[in-house]
Structure 1
Amino acid sequence: ARRQRHTFVSSPPGVGKTTLVQRLLTMLRNEEGDAGVEVVGFYTEEMRDEKGNRCGFDVVRVGAGPPGSAPRTALARMGQEPPKVGKYSVDVASFEAFALPALMARRARPALPENARLYSPPDGAAEAVGLLEEPEAGAEEAEAEEAEAER
């Protein structure tokens, strides 16, 4: 099976993690077009009051959600209700209802190669291919043997 890579961005508050994600999404859409690459997930975005002070966080969906659903929902607001993270009360139920379906739907689909692009050979049989990595020699045979063993 192909090894997936994940990137985790961590830094102190206010240094630009969300801005980085938003800019990368914009660059990807500009490079590939809206239909070029399916991006599914979410990020959190700070909310500020009328004085510019941080008052909480929203979770923002990336990619399509259920028909008629809002693209964002409240995640945490200043308060005393548990569970709390720092001075914020976290709405776990809303987060799970909003963000987790996107992650679970993604897991149900087969993984594409890292840096996948759609390749259409002259015979018209389109397939997803990776531009940076080629499958290891014998990888297809090993995957077929694994699948056979699972049956």
Structure 2
Amino acid sequence: MKILITGKPGIGKTTVIKKVAGKLGENAVGFYTEELRNEKGKREGFKVVTLDGKEGVLASKKMRSSYRVGSYGVNIKEFENLVVPVLEKALYENKVVIIDEIGKMELFSKKFVSVVEKLFSSDKIIIATVPVKNVHPVVKWIKERPDTVLIQVDYESRDELPEKIVELVEKR
């Protein structure tokens, strides 16, 4: 079973996935992303946090990088150093794999794309967030797989979704 969470930016996809990871506890492995904000509350970038507590900068307005999404420079090296080993290890663990998110920034990494393809081709239970639009061929491939359930997050559903997703996983 592959559960894909999608919805507009800022709707609460990461909040849903963090709550799901919290409910699954030691039975989950993976990562989520969070916004980095300055002292005035303005978004300056994004950090990646692994479920085992490591974190690093994924993207920043201050970062010089040939990989860019809007005004953000993407830190591929730090992302790969943190996330790829966690996901590679997940291939051999009996845990639910959490991936937040499979989006433009993350998909600049060929290593990330490779391990995501391996995970989705396996029998692993995966809960991932994906953009509404198919921003990359891998996103389109994942959404079109017969073993995926696509869940749309909106303001009405986001509070009850974590519990529903955990129930789906536990029924399997």
TM range (shorter): 0.5 to 0.7
Report the alpha carbon displacement of residue 81 of structure 1 after superposing the two structures with TM.
2.7
- Greater share of helix residues, 1 or 2? 2
1:132 aligns with 2:121: no
The structure having more radius of gyration, on CA atoms, is 1
Give the structure-2-normalised TM-score: 0.51
Report the alpha carbon displacement of residue 106 of structure 1 after superposing the two structures with TM.
1.1
Percent sequence identity is 32
Give the structure-1-normalised TM-score: 0.58
Contact 1:56 1:75 in 2 (8 A): yes
Contact 1:18 1:45 in 2 (8 A): yes
Letter in 1 for 2:83: A
For 1:10, which of 6, 23, 29 is the aligned residue?
Answer: 6
Matches within 5 A, 1:59-74: 59-63=48-52, 71-74=54-57
CA distance in 1 between partners of 2:67 and 2:21 (Å): 31
Identify the residue that residue 140 of structure 1 maps to in structure 2: none
Letter in 1 for 2:15: T
Cα deviation 1:57-80 (Å, max 9, x = unaligned): 0000013xxxxxx62100000145
Q: Structure 1 residues 73 and 28 mapped into 2: Cα distance closer, same or farther (>3 Å)?
A: same
1:48 aligns with 2:27: no
Matches within 5 A, 1:1-151: 5-29=1-25, 37-63=26-52, 71-79=54-62, 81-109=65-93, 132-133=171-172
CA distance in 1 between partners of 2:91 and 2:11 (Å): 31
Give 3-state SS (helix, strand or coil) of 1:102's partner: helix
Q: How many residues align?
A: 102
Cα deviation 1:10-44 (Å, max 9, x = unaligned): 22221111111121222333xxxxxxx43110011
Cα RMSD of the aligned pairs, angstroms, is: 2.7
Contact 2:31 2:83 in 1 (8 A): yes
CA distance in 2 between partners of 1:38 and 1:91 (Å): 29
CA distance in 2 between partners of 1:100 and 1:23 (Å): 22
Q: Which stretch shows the higher mean deviation, 78-87 or 47-56? A: 78-87
CA distance in 2 between partners of 1:17 and 1:131 (Å): 20
Contact 1:44 1:60 in 2 (8 A): yes
CA distance in 1 between partners of 2:4 and 2:28 (Å): 16
Letter in 1 for 2:80: E
Letter in 1 for 2:61: M
Tell me which of the two structures has the higher relative contact order, counting C-alpha pairs closer than 8 angstroms and 6 or more residues apart: 2
